[in-house]
């Protein structure tokens, strides 16, 4: 049975077998002097583990080509993120091979280049959160504590009707929890200010009223269906006849949950 834990240095959650194994591999790499490549989707913790392995190394994005080449010539250790974004990967790899610098690099899971096999002695992949479901509650707890401190607001997090946003793994989940806290006590004027800011740069055509009406109608229908459970009750509460409500649901069908 895997122990449920969060590393205090990296905040990397190790509740699942996959994340626990990734952390063990990173811990091993701290004791070795080899180059390694960590792959995975955005938000899975690649950068956190790279920092854990080389805590004092400079961190540079591979897209910053000139800056990266200078760092490779002047550093003993270095972390290179987003290796797949390098505008001249072959030149970067040649520079690493000619130097004595130790490299921990990160890249997306689908990244593959025949030139990297000889350079990186060890490669390991961190699976997405949807494959590490045991990690999700602990991540939510982390982000909840962070949000409560940031917004100076103690609010009990409820999982009722909460569907974790895992599109970008921990990155999108963190943003979702932050939004939960930000909107917890929002008033009418603050909500309207947010919508005004959102709409300001989007307005400009002669069909804007019709095109953006869903921003009001879809949330109202979704909230009503969730609260009152049936179209019949919702139509009564909204003061609409059922045919009008059905029409509104059809018009907003791509934004209506469960439709």
**Is 91 within 8 Å of 69 (Cβ atoms)?**
yes
What does the alpha-carbon distance between residue 146 and residue 168 come to, in Å, rounded to a whole number? 19
Burial of 126 per CB tally in 10 Å (0-12, 13-18, 19+): buried
Is the pLDDT score of 2 beyond 50?
no
Mind listing the pLDDT tens digit for each residue in 54-108?
999 999 999 999 999 999 999 999 999 999 999 999 999 999 998 889 999 999 9
Structural domains for the chain: 17-130 (3.40.50.300), 188-259 (1.10.10)
Please state whether the predicted TM-score (pTM) of the whole model is above 0.85: no
Mind listing the pLDDT tens digit for each residue in 131-175?
999 999 999 989 988 888 888 776 676 666 678 999 999 999 999
């Amino acid at each position: 049975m895997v122990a449920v834990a969060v590393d205090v240095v990296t905040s990397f959650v190790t509740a699942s077998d996959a994340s626990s194994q990734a952390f063990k591999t990173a811990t091993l790499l701290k004791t070795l002097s080899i180059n390694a490549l960590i792959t995975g989707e955005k938000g899975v913790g690649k950068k956190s583990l790279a920092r854990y392995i080389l805590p004092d190394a400079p961190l540079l994005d591979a897209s910053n080509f000139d800056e990266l080449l200078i760092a490779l010539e002047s550093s003993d250790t270095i972390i290179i993120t987003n290796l797949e974004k390098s505008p001249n990967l072959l030149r970067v790899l040649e520079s690493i091979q000619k130097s004595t610098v130790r490299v921990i690099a990160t890249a997306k899971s689908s990244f593959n280049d025949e030139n990297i096999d000889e350079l990186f002695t060890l490669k390991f992949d961190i699976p997405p959160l949807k494959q590490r479901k045991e990690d999700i509650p602990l991540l939510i707890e982390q982000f909840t504590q962070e949000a409560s401190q940031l917004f100076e607001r103690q609010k009990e997090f409820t999982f009722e009707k909460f569907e974790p946003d895992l599109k970008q793994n921990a990155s999108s989940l963190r943003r979702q929890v932050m939004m939960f806290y930000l909107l917890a006590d929002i008033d009418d004027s603050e909500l309207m200010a947010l919508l005004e800011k959102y709409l300001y740069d989007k307005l400009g055509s002669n069909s804007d009223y019709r095109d953006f009406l869903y921003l009001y109608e879809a949330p109202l229908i979704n909230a009503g269906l969730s609260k009152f459970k049936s179209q019949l009750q919702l139509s009564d509460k909204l003061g609409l006849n059922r045919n009008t409500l059905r029409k509104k649901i059809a018009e907003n069908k791509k934004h209506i949950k469960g439709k």
